[in-house]
Amino acid sequence: MKYAMSLVLLITVANVSAADWPQFHGPNRDNKSTDTGLLKEWPEGGPKRIWEVTGIGQGYSTVSIVGKLIYTTGSVNGSCVITALDMNGKKVWTHGNGEAWGKSYPGTRSTPTIDDELLYHLSGIGNLVCLKPNDGEVVWSTDIMQAFGGRNIMWGLAESPLVTGDKVICTPGGEKVSMVAFNKKSGKLLWKCTGAGDKPGYASAILVDHKGLKQIVTAMSESIIGVRASDGKLLWRYPHKVYADENITTPIFKDGFLIVSGCVKKGTTSLKLNVSGDSCSVSQHWHNRELDNKQGGIVLVDGRLYGYAESFNRSTPWMCVDFKSGKSVSKSAPVKSSYKYKNGCLTYADGMFYLYADNGQMVLTKATDEGFVTTGYLKIKDPGKRPTWAHPVVFGRRLYIRYGDKLGAYNVSAE
């Protein structure tokens, strides 16, 4: 059901290119922006806000940006609503995707994925919809929970769909069917992955291409799995039990190794991929118990891993770990989170890290061997009553920050 159409049906959306931010964590799902010419220090009070839009709904979804449109989701009067904005923060269209997640921590989680002039979104209760991104017209939709015996999790589905080739990937986490692939244009089922047995995790999947074998890697409720991208065969399952099944952090892949992390002192683990033809197994390479990332994500830059360690609370939670050895390099506290949630998220652009705490405070920092050095500070004036868990995005020399039912755009250009 369409909620509003306004103004700009004349806007067209170009094919996704390297100059876009088309999905959760960007083109490569590595949470690193290719922007250059950005401020290395912020003026007092933080970068200038260009605009703030309200009424996008409650949620923890971040933004996707393709062409001249910005996409996000929120819960409006109990409905899951996808919103497209222009570069001035004006609403172009909104479209409902069924009922929103309304139980514990109500609001949306998933971020829209745009590929080949189509948009995909998965709601917290399992509605997968494909829309035309220029006007929100429905192309196809399906309820993955009903269709595949899916089992929802304590805080609702949070996966942002992955598109690879002609496939769009989702994880219903049924007793029999773990993951599914649809034809991205028609919605026809292409394959089903069976055998994992776990419920879904909260993470979003990544595509791994190693030694000629393409596989989909994601976190389930109690494991990390690798699925052959061509036909959905379960290649391997690595047990990864964390507190309350909170497998949230999106895996990272580089040079034959996977990085996975879990909260409540689960820590961070490096897994070696052992590929042989069309098969693969994994073995533990190293384990660092200190970096127990919950939901803020980890970023790999220049051979080092950066993220928020939940177990260090408000003392020195922002950590750096060596990618090859797994040894802790530094701990620091450039911005402190709330006492209640103890969480922070981050993104990276032009040599700088943007650290965002769960209470609406953000800092611009540079990483050193001793820890993060702060060069700018921004406090959101009215971040709302709920924790600010949406991951920030730097794109087009702007910083996008989501808080409650608001989205702010800030000028971080050095020019």
Give the pLDDT band of residue 313 (cuts 50, 70, 90): confident
Task: State residue 17's pLDDT score.
Answer: 55
Task: State residue 16's pLDDT score.
Answer: 52
Each residue's pLDDT tens digit, 341-397: 889 999 999 999 999 999 999 999 999 999 999 999 999 999 998 999 999 999 999
Asked which of 1-5, 38-42, 76-80, 248-252 is least confident by mean pLDDT, the reply is 1-5
Cβ(257)–Cβ(285) below 8 Å? yes
| Three-state DSSP state, 243 | helix
Q: Which residues contact 385 (CB under 8 A, 6 or more apart)?
A: 404
Please compute the mean of the pLDDT values over residues 88-113 and round it to a whole number. 97
Please compute the mean of the pLDDT values over residues 112-132 and round it to a whole number. 98
Please compute the mean of the pLDDT values over residues 55-78 and round it to a whole number. 97
Rounded Cα gap, residues 60 and 100, in angstroms:
12
Phi/psi for 277 (5° steps) reads 65, -120
Task: State residue 18's pLDDT score.
Answer: 58
Residue 12, pLDDT > 60, answer no
Q: Residue 185 burial by CB count (10 A; 0-12/13-18/19+): exposed, middle or buried?
A: middle
Residue 2, pLDDT > 50, answer no
Whole-model pTM: value is: 0.95
Query: Cα–Cα–Cα angle for 153, 312, 267, nearest 5°?
Result: 55
Please compute the mean of the pLDDT values over residues 95-122 and round it to a whole number. 97
All structural domains of the chain: 1-20+35-196 (2.40.128.630), 201-295 (2.40.10.480)
Give the pLDDT band of residue 53 (cuts 50, 70, 90): very high
Residue 8, pLDDT > 80, answer no
Task: State residue 3's pLDDT score.
Answer: 43
With pLDDT > 90 as the criterion, what percentage of the chain qualifies?
A: 92
Query: Cα–Cα–Cα angle for 393, 252, 326, nearest 5°?
Result: 115
Residue 133, pLDDT > 70, answer yes
Each residue's pLDDT tens digit, 176-224: 999 999 999 999 999 999 999 999 999 999 999 999 999 999 999 999 9
